[in-house]
């Protein structure tokens, strides 16, 4: 793993503070879509605890720290569009909204968001809603493109991920929990209520996703801090370990692609397609992404893969399952992207 070390120089600290302040002022001035802006953002207060990156004392699911944020001015577009892509930036900052393939330019923001997102489909464009796991313990459902519907909460310190099955159940993974560790998954029946927590063999849960049979898969670190894939079979209350036939270096997105269970490796920049039988995931294909630095979350739609790139500090579009170089790069405001999803109005 490309570790960046515990602290930057004093000069870098000052430069980042200036950029962060300028970025905050710009976001305050824009006020285009969503709730009140947050002044939170990436600065040089970062460290690694084992293999887990902490930014501003908050664990994140990215493998690497991005370069300093780049801010670009844009003109918000309030006109309704059918199709939207969301790049979720650092926790508590904002989600950047796009309407690719019509344009690669940012058309709006949802302030206060960040982290990861998911929708009510296994893959493809979500139907009229999307979810964001973007705060200390807040999970928010939005009507596309940016109207908040409701907020759920968990009793754990740092939720990290989300996924929905075809019945509308919402699974939220816990990256870290102060004092007791992480790794749990909280499932909200029909996306409502207080949720039921399930223990997993993971000490830190990074990503999760359902397959078309209602089985829930999640990945993260086990107690030995090596990669582990786990499964909660449909109808079961107990997670089991799944052994992959290849080595995954760093946990990445877990998503059903219509045929295979996909697991992304943030270090290898590769999407692994598996078939799962019993406790074994057998690698069938490897999709290599070129030009990406760290897809902290990927989202698959028909023919495309979206990447929230924490390393390049942007959002990228790849052909799927071809992979290769990006066919498009989103332009706009980014502040350490951690997630990406897509939905239709």
Please list the pLDDT of the chain residue by residue as tens digits (345 residues): 444 433 333 333 333 333 333 333 333 333 344 333 333 444 447 677 777 877 777 778 788 665 544 433 333 344 444 899 999 999 989 999 999 999 999 999 999 899 999 999 999 999 999 999 987 778 999 999 999 999 999 988 899 999 999 999 999 999 988 767 789 999 999 999 999 999 999 999 999 999 999 999 999 999 999 999 999 999 999 999 999 999 999 999 999 999 999 999 999 999 999 999 999 999 999 999 999 999 999 999 999 999 999 999 999 999 999 999 999 999 999 999 999 999 999
Structure confidence at residue 177 (pLDDT): 85
Domain ranges of the chain: 83-344
Structure tokens at 79: 């006109």
Please state the three-class secondary structure of the chain as a single string.
CCCCCCCCCHHHHHHHHHHHHHHHHHHHHHCCCECCCCCCCCCCCEEEECCEEEECCEEECCCCCCCCCCCCCCCCCCCCCCEEEEEECCCCCEEEEECCCCCCECCEEEECCCCEEECCCCCCCEECEEEEECCCCEEEEEECCCEEEEEEECCCCEEEEEEECCCCCEEEEEEECCCCCCCCEEEEHHHCCCCEEECCCCCEEEEEEECCCCCEEEEEECCCCCEEEEEECCCCCCCEEEEECCCCCCCCCEEECCCCEEEEECCCCEEEEEEEECCEEEEEEEEEECCCCCEEEEEEECCEEEEEECCCCEEEEEECCCEEEEEEEEECCCCCCCEEEEEEC
DSSP strand pairing (126-127 vs 339-344):
parallel
Structure tokens at 221: 């670190």
Integer Cα distance of 336 and 208 in angstroms: 21
CA 98 vs CA 101, 106, 139, 307: distances in Å: 9, 5, 21, 13
Structure confidence at residue 143 (pLDDT): 97
CA 75 vs CA 33, 108, 231, 277: distances in Å: 12, 8, 44, 50
Structure tokens at 71: 């801010």
CA R_g for the chain? 18
With CA atoms as reference, report the closest residue to 243 among 254, 224, 228, 258. Answer: 228
The CATH number of the structural domain formed by 83-344 is 2.130.10.10
């Amino acid at each position: 793993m490309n570790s960046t070390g515990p602290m930057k120089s004093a000069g870098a600290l000052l430069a980042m503070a200036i950029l962060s302040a300028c970025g905050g002022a710009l976001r305050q001035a824009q006020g285009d879509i969503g709730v009140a802006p947050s002044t939170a953002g990436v600065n040089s207060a970062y460290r690694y605890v084992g293999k887990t990156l902490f930014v501003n004392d908050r664990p994140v699911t990215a493998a690497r720290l991005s370069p300093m944020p780049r801010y670009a001015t844009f003109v918000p577009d309030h006109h309704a569009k059918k199709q939207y892509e969301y790049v979720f930036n650092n926790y508590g900052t904002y989600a950047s909204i796009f309407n690719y393939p019509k344009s690669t330019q940012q058309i709006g923001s949802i302030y206060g968001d960040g982290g990861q997102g998911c929708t009510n489909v296994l893959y493809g464009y979500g139907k009229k809603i999307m979810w964001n796991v973007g705060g200390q313990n807040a999970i928010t459902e939005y009507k596309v493109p940016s109207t908040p519907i409701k907020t759920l909460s968990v009793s754990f310190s740092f939720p990290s991920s989300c996924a929905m099955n075809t019945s509308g159940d919402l699974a939220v993974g816990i990256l870290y929990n102060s004092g007791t560790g992480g790794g749990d998954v909280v499932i909200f029946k029909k996306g409502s209520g207080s949720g039921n927590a399930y223990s997993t063999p993971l000490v830190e849960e990074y990503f999760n996703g359902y397959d078309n049979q209602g089985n829930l898969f999640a990945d993260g670190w086990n107690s030995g801090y090596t990669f582990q894939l786990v499964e909660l079979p449909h109808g079961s209350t107990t997670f089991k370990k799944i052994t992959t036939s290849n080595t995954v270096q760093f946990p990445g997105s877990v998503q059903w692609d219509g045929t295979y269970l996909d697991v992304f490796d943030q270090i290898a920049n590769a999407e692994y397609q598996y078939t799962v039988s019993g406790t074994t995931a057998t690698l069938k294909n490897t999709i290599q992404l070129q030009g990406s630095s760290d897809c902290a979350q990927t989202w698959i739609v028909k023919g495309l893969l979206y990447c929230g790139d924490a390393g390049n500090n942007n959002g990228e579009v790849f052909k799927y399952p071809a992979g290769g170089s990006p066919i498009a790069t989103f332009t706009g405001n980014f502040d350490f992207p951690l997630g990406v999803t897509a939905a239709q109005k």
